[in-house]
Structure 1
Amino acid sequence: PLNFFPFNLGQRSRPKYKVSIQVPPATRSGKLPRVQGDDSRPLVVIDAGHGGVDPGAIGPDGLREKDVTLKVAKAIRDELLASGRVRVALTRDDDRFLVLRERYGIARRLRGDLFISIHCDSTGSPEATGATAYTLSEVASDKEAARLAARENKADVISGVNLGDAGADVSSILIDLTQRETMSASATFARLLGREAKPLMPLKPNFHRMASLMVLKAPDMPSILFETGYISNPQDAAFLDSGDGRDRIARSVTRAVEVHFARRMAAR
């Protein structure tokens, strides 16, 4: 043990110190989540954003993003499994904290074919409304996309310890040919989701946006971050917190997933 007192102060005068370091709750990083569905089907990994010590955005009535995203993720899982077209895994199925690298890391370890991270947007204006889908780009498509990336990328330090700092080799991934192809596939899926979701739920006019989001940086797996609506907007929040709203979101995602993999099969 370290000796903080190199000289003898005597037993009575020597103070007693207790060193404590606050760390986030332990995650089950060594245990992969359960995969459900037919083993012959492609795997979709659904990521419920935030969780544990990180509540995410909080609506004016106290609705927490981490609770909404988990319910929506489970609704999407159930709808996808009912379709019988894919296998499904959730990065978290309870209220726990995962660092951003761990989220897409789980999907890569499972050899996922598609990664969808579920979130709720928030802004100071209660007028902002509608869902958006984000895909990876080193340059944000607009100021709002840059703002969102800055907010979401802070999730790793919410507990006071930056466990998401992986150094320059991860935070600035080289965009090689493989990742360029992945980014293109991600953008195609985002546009497809917008098409399928439009009849079922409110969307922003510029539905597909791009930003440098850490959770989307898997270089070999199409990935999107789906902002399902504004938790800061009373109407959006009510939609997100309703069974009907979650059902509509789940149907939108399922339709897009079915078309996505049907196109892939046809292209082989």
Structure 2
Amino acid sequence: MMSLCWTKRGEARQYGTMSLLFALFAIIGWQPALATAIEAVDVTPERITVQFDDYVENASAFVLENPYRIAIDVAGARAGQGSGQAGPVRAVRQGQYNPQTARLVLDLARPAIFGNGSFSDDGRTFTLDIQPVSQLRFASAANAGRASFLPPMAFRARPPRGRGELTVRLPRATPAGQTELPEIQGPRGRPLVVIDAGHGGHDPGAISPFGNRHEKDATLAIALATRDALLASGRVRVALTRSDDRFLVLRERYEIARRLGGELFISIHADSAENSDAHGATIYTLSEVASDRETARLAGRENAADVINGVNLGGADADVRSILIDLTQRETMNISARFASLLRRQAGSAVPFRSDFHRSADFAVLKAPDMPSILFESGYLTNASDARRLFSREGQRAIANGLATAIQTHFARSTASTD
């Protein structure tokens, strides 16, 4: 039997030998044969894939320092043997963390973090992407805590192996079209802006070295302050994708805005960098390459009964759908770019911007084809001056007032151009 030692700040430090654990489990009546077994672990430079002989309950992952490691806990599973290496992964170890949970530890040759964890439809395969990063980014991830992943089995009930009672397993995310929509506030008939506070819940975003404060808290505070400033004007309706500390899937964020009929979408974030001198706000709009890919994806959907910019595409063939979506997407991108310039002018006196303030990128939250959208990086949490602004009431109000002024000006111009 091998001996394992897990460390993560104040968590349990040592679990002795595996033989002692199995002896204790036998005393309390645990039967490891009834747990789902880890059958295989496949490691590539970009991904780890774990296969099971039956469904499991869930998985979670977190990052450990000194030495560099990624740990994966699988509920309802029993550990098997270790595995090989590839890319940043030097070795994979397995052990039984507790009677119900198997733990895999990825020993890393260099700093790397995980992302995009997902289960197969039957819950018998779990994959986790791996990405090499800087020491600073790794330290930030180590402070972020645990991320959890659930199999996508909507209300699926199955008896645990060897037992007669049923357990009910909830879906990983709310089925499409059933997401609870947020409240719209403001006078009827006014244009609607949807403000998205980035990150939330188990996803803290970037972490500031100045006080160990989280991006998700700064983005929510700025979103709430922007909502209040806009409602005080009485000229705009406002909805927030989240008004508390909750997690939302990226694509779900802009789909909420589309279902509400949003006319402008703003996703608020904060940046981080290894260079502590990096500072200032940045505005991102969708890149041309990302737009082309999204157009192809939308045009090629099996269910093409989407309504894009008021036009139902259900009766159009693939070529026509592609053209209509492309035209709509291009106009949307042009409006987004104009709003980026407007925001820089209106908020520049209160919010320092980078000299190259407008950039384009393949951000998922920017891919609504018929709704102008920007991702607003409000500053750098790794810069002392920016961090003070992002986490102070005064700084948050200044950012919010700049955003609110630009939003009102944008809608005033839009209304004037259609009169």
Q: TM-score, normalised by structure 2?
A: 0.52
Q: 2:184 is matched by which residue type in structure 1?
A: V
Which of 219, 223, 228 matches 1:78?
228
Distance in 2 (alpha carbons) for counterparts of 1:257 and 1:187:
13
Structure 2 residue runs of 5 or longer lacking an equivalent are: 1-30, 37-55, 60-148, 151-170, 302-321
* 8 Å contact kept, 1:27–1:97: no
Distance in 2 (alpha carbons) for counterparts of 1:187 and 1:198:
16
Structure 1 residue runs of 5 or longer lacking an equivalent are: 1-12, 141-165
Q: 1:51 is matched by which residue type in structure 2?
A: G
Alignment match, 1:31:
180
Q: 1:86 is matched by which residue type in structure 2?
A: V
Which of 287, 297, 300 matches 1:169?
297
Q: 2:275 is matched by which residue type in structure 1?
A: S
* 8 Å contact kept, 1:228–1:240: yes
Q: 1:104 is matched by which residue type in structure 2?
A: Y
Question: Are positions 1:204 and 2:321 aligned together?
Answer: no
Distance in 2 (alpha carbons) for counterparts of 1:216 and 1:73:
17
Distance in 2 (alpha carbons) for counterparts of 1:206 and 1:139:
20
**Coordinate RMSD, CA, aligned:** 2.4
Q: Helix, strand or coil for the counterpart of 1:188?
A: helix
Question: Are positions 1:132 and 2:279 aligned together?
Answer: no
Distance in 2 (alpha carbons) for counterparts of 1:27 and 1:205:
40
Q: 1:79 is matched by which residue type in structure 2?
A: A
Q: Helix, strand or coil for the counterpart of 2:34?
A: coil
Q: Could you report, residue by residue, the CA deviation over 1:132-159 in whole angstroms, capped at 9, with x for unpaired residues?
A: 111111349xxxxxxxxxxxxxxxxxxx
Q: 1:17 is matched by which residue type in structure 2?
A: A
Question: Are positions 1:109 and 2:259 aligned together?
Answer: yes
Q: 1:30 is matched by which residue type in structure 2?
A: T
Q: Which has the larger radius of gyration?
A: 2
Q: 1:197 is matched by which residue type in structure 2?
A: A
Distance in 2 (alpha carbons) for counterparts of 1:78 and 1:207:
26
Alignment match, 1:236:
386
Q: Which has the higher strand share?
A: 2
Distance in 1 (alpha carbons) for counterparts of 2:255 and 2:202:
20
Q: Cα–Cα, structure 1 residues 244 and 15, in superposed 2: closer, same or farther, change >3 Å?
A: same
Distance in 2 (alpha carbons) for counterparts of 1:190 and 1:217:
16
Alignment match, 1:265:
415
Structure possessing the higher relative contact order (Cα contacts under 8 Å, 6 or more residues apart): 1
Q: Which has the higher helix share?
A: 1
Q: Could you report, residue by residue, the CA deviation over 1:42-93 in whole angstroms, capped at 9, with x for unpaired residues?
A: 1000000001111100011211001110111000000011111110000011
Q: Helix, strand or coil for the counterpart of 1:204?
A: strand
Alignment match, 1:99:
249
Aligned-pair identity in percent equals 59
Q: 2:257 is matched by which residue type in structure 1?
A: A
Q: TM-score, normalised by structure 1?
A: 0.80
Q: 1:121 is matched by which residue type in structure 2?
A: D
Distance in 2 (alpha carbons) for counterparts of 1:97 and 1:204:
29
State the Cα distance separating 1:106 from its structure 2 match.
0.3
Q: Cα–Cα, structure 1 residues 14 and 124, in superposed 2: closer, same or farther, change >3 Å?
A: closer
Alignment match, 1:149:
none
* 8 Å contact kept, 1:130–1:236: yes
Q: 2:206 is matched by which residue type in structure 1?
A: A
* 8 Å contact kept, 1:139–1:210: no
